């Protein structure tokens, strides 16, 4: 019998895990990383979709839904052997960052001593009152986390089947 594994605060017993790990170690490492990246992008796409749905659209910068997905896989050597580190990123432009975290009151000045056109007038600076945070990425991640894990598993199995020619 396989030994229990703790993940996400829960205990799991996965039958055949050691055999599956042995078969995965036999695969070409480059193809394995490509399969992991593809599966990560598919899973992170769920967060991006939720973020696009939640994103404030009062301005044109987020109305165009500039939310991107990336994925990387690296191998690290640890005390118990090497393991893959999977990182999926879901991000947006600077405007999205200001929406997500808010801004403090600040002064906006024209670049290199130039003037700004604000409210139909030309001025050297403007006192911006700041903006309250309107998070959309973090809630999107929170609402999608279970589906992301499920999607990654399904996409990874599909990619491994392609690599091994069994699917």
Cα distance between residue 82 and residue 25, in whole Å: 11
Q: How far is CA 101 from CA 56, 68, 106, in A?
A: 13, 18, 15
Q: Is the dihedral of CA 134, 137, 142, 147 positive or negative?
A: positive
> What does the alpha-carbon distance between residue 151 and residue 40 come to, in Å, rounded to a whole number?
9
CA 62/CA 96 separation, integer angstroms: 7
Q: What is the pLDDT of residues 118-146, one digit of tens each?
A: 888 899 889 999 999 999 889 999 999 89
Furthest-apart CA pair in the chain: how many Å? 76
Q: What is the DSSP letter of 66?
A: -
Q: Which parts of the chain sit beneath pLDDT 70? A: 1-2, 58-65, 82-83, 167
The end-to-end CA distance of the chain, in Å, is 28
Question: What pLDDT sits at residue 61?
Answer: 62
**pTM (two decimals):** 0.73
Residue 84 phi, psi dihedral angles, 5° rounding: -85, 140
Q: Output the CA torsion 14→87→41→81 (10° steps).
A: -40
Question: Is the backbone of residue 88 left (phi > 0), alpha (psi -120 to 50) or beta?
Answer: beta
> What burial class does residue 36 get, using C-beta atoms within 10 Å of its C-beta: 0-12 exposed, 13-18 middle, 19+ buried?
buried
Whether 156 contacts 35, CB under 8 Å = yes
| pLDDT confidence of residue 64 | 57
Residue 51 has what pLDDT? 87
Domain that holds residue 146: 5-164
């Amino acid at each position: 019998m396989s030994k229990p594994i703790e993940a996400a605060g829960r205990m799991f017993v996965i039958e055949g895990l050691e055999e599956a790990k042995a078969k995965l170690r036999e695969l070409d490492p480059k193809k394995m990383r490509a399969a992991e990246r593809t599966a990560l992008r598919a899973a992170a796409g769920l967060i991006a979709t939720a973020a696009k749905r939640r994103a404030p659209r009062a301005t044109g910068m987020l109305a165009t839904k500039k939310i991107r997905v990336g994925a990387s896989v690296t191998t690290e050597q640890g005390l118990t052997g090497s393991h893959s580190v999977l990182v999926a990123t879901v991000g947006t432009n600077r405007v999205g960052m200001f929406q997500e975290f808010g801004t403090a009151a600040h002064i906006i000045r024209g670049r290199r001593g130039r003037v700004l056109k604000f409210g139909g007038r030309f001025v050297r600076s403007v006192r911006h009152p700041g903006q309250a945070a309107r998070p959309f990425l973090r809630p999107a991640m929170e609402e999608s986390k279970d589906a992301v894990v499920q999607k990654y598993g399904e996409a990874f199995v599909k990619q491994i089947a392609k690599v091994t020619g069994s699917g």
